[in-house]
Amino acid sequence: MSFHSISLLLTIIQLTVTNSQSTLCRTSCGSIPIQYPFSIDDGCGSPYYRYILSCSISSDHSHNLQLRTPSGIYLVHNVSYIDPHIVVTDPFMWNCEDGESYRPTRPFSLDTSTRFKLSPQNQYLFFNCSEEKVIVKPKPAFCERFPEHCDSSCDSASYLCRHLPMCSFAMRGSSCCSYYPKATESLRLMLMYCSSYASVYWRNVGAPQPYDQVPEYGIRVDFDVPVTTRCLQCQDQSKGGGGTCGFDTQTQSFLCLCKEGNFTTHCNDYDTARQNRNVHVIAGTVTGISAFGALGIGAFIWYIKKVRVKAQ
C-alpha cells in the first residue's frame, strides 16, 4: 500500500470524526427521564421530535417538561418509553372545582405531521352540550366496553359521568356525556356545541383485570419510536461504551454523540483510528465504515404498538 493511499484512508477516518467534543444531552427534566427519541437539547434524539419538548425552570426552581402543539404549550406529567406514551394536562380543561360553572375552554390539538397520536385510552367528557346539535343519549353497557363498535352519540349513562374521578358529586341528567375521540378534530367540533370538556385516561396500574386501569384526568398521547440500525449501533455498549443518538442540526443527518466527539457511525471509530496506526487495522476500519454506511441508509422500523381494548 502506498503512502498516498494510507493518508487517503486516514483522511476518510478523520472525516467521520467531526471535531473534538460533543455537548452532552440532558437525560432528565426534573424527575422525568429524557431519552431517545426525545430530547430537550437541539441535535439530540430523533429529528422527528425536534422543537417539540422543552424543559423550563419556573420561579420556584422546579423543572417543567412542556409539549408544544398547535393549540398551545402543555405541561407533561410523565413519559413512558416502555409503553410509549406521554401524559399532558390542559389548564383549560374542566376540573372538579369548576362544578357547573364552566370556564371558557379551547380544544387541545396535535400536529398530525408528528409521530404523536391521541391514545385510544382517553375518554372525553363533555358538559352542557346543546341537544339540538349533539346526540346525547344513554348507551348500553356494551358501548362502554367496545366503543369502536358503537355509534357516534355522546353517552349520558357513562360510568365516568356518574363517578367523576377525584370528585364527590355527580352531574345530573344530560349535563355530562362521554365520547371516545377518534382524532383531536372531534374535540374541536364537540366544543362548538358543549360548554366544557375533560379528558380522562385509563392509567395502567399493573393490577389484575378488571382493576388494571384507573381513571385519571389528563390526555394520553402515544408516540412512535423510530428505530434505525445506525442508532442501535451507536447505543451498543460493546462499541465504545455507548453513544447517544442525535443528528446534525443543519442537515438533520444522523450523528452518534460520544464523549470523544460526534461520529457518523459509533463511538469506537475514534479509538480504532487513534490507537492502531497499523495499516491492516486502518484498512479494516474503512471497510467497516463503508459497510455501516450501506446498512444505515433507510431501514426504518417503527414500533407498532399493540393497542389494548380498554376493559373496565
Task: Please check whether residue 268 is in contact with residue 259, taking contact to mean a CB–CB distance below 8 angstroms.
Answer: no
Binding of ligand NAG by 253 (CB under 6 A): no
Helices (H), the chain: 3-16, 141-145, 159-162, 184-191, 229-235, 268-275, 279-296
Task: Please check whether residue 168 is in contact with residue 161, taking contact to mean a CB–CB distance below 8 angstroms.
Answer: no
Least distance to ligand NAG, CB of residue 260, Å: 10
Which of the stretches 67-75, 156-164, 177-185, 244-252 binds ligand NAG when contact is defined by CB under 6 A? 244-252
Other beta carbons within 10 angstroms of residue 268's beta carbon come to: 21
Quick one: which of 262, 264, 265, 268 contacts ligand NAG (CB under 6 A)? 262
CA dist 161 and 176 (Å) reads 6
Which CB sits closer to ligand NAG, 67 or 257? 257
Beta strands in 140-283 (DSSP E): 154-155, 176-179, 194-204, 213-217, 219-223, 226-227, 244-247, 254-258, 261-263
**Angle CA(308)–CA(226)–CA(240) in degrees, nearest 5?**
125
Binding of ligand NAG by 248 (CB under 6 A): yes
Which CB sits closer to ligand NAG, 109 or 174? 174
Least distance to ligand NAG, CB of residue 77, Å: 6
Task: Please check whether residue 54 is in contact with residue 39, taking contact to mean a CB–CB distance below 8 angstroms.
Answer: no
Which of the stretches 55-63, 161-169, 253-261, 302-310 binds ligand NAG when contact is defined by CB under 6 A? 253-261
Residue 282 to residues 13, 85, 185, 288, 296, Cα–Cα distance (Å):
8, 44, 56, 10, 21
Backbone angles phi, psi at 8, to 5 degrees: -65, -45
Least distance to ligand NAG, CB of residue 249, Å: 5
Site for ligand NAG in 129-158 (CB under 6 A): 130
The three cell numbers locating residue 228 = 434505525
The three cell numbers locating residue 117 = 397520536
Binding of ligand NAG by 102 (CB under 6 A): yes
Binding of ligand NAG by 78 (CB under 6 A): yes
Binding of ligand NAG by 128 (CB under 6 A): yes
Which of the stretches 217-225, 254-262, 269-277, 298-306 binds ligand NAG when contact is defined by CB under 6 A? 254-262
Binding of ligand NAG by 257 (CB under 6 A): yes
**Angle CA(66)–CA(67)–CA(72) in degrees, nearest 5?**
105
Binding of ligand NAG by 215 (CB under 6 A): no
Find the length of the chain. Answer: 312
Binding of ligand NAG by 19 (CB under 6 A): yes
Partners of 72 in the beta sheet? Answer: 69
Binding of ligand NAG by 18 (CB under 6 A): yes
Which of the stretches 19-27, 181-189, 233-241, 287-295 binds ligand NAG when contact is defined by CB under 6 A? 19-27
Binding of ligand NAG by 251 (CB under 6 A): no
Residue 94 to residues 90, 103, 199, 300, Cα–Cα distance (Å):
9, 7, 9, 40
Least distance to ligand NAG, CB of residue 26, Å: 12
Site for ligand NAG in 177-196 (CB under 6 A): 195
- How far is C-alpha 231 from the chain's CA centre? 18
Quick one: which of 69, 261, 266, 267 contacts ligand NAG (CB under 6 A)? 261
Tell me which residue has its CB nearest to ligand NAG: 43
Which residues are near ligand NAG by CB under 6 A? 18-23, 43, 78, 80, 100, 102, 128, 130, 195, 246, 248-249, 255, 257, 261-262
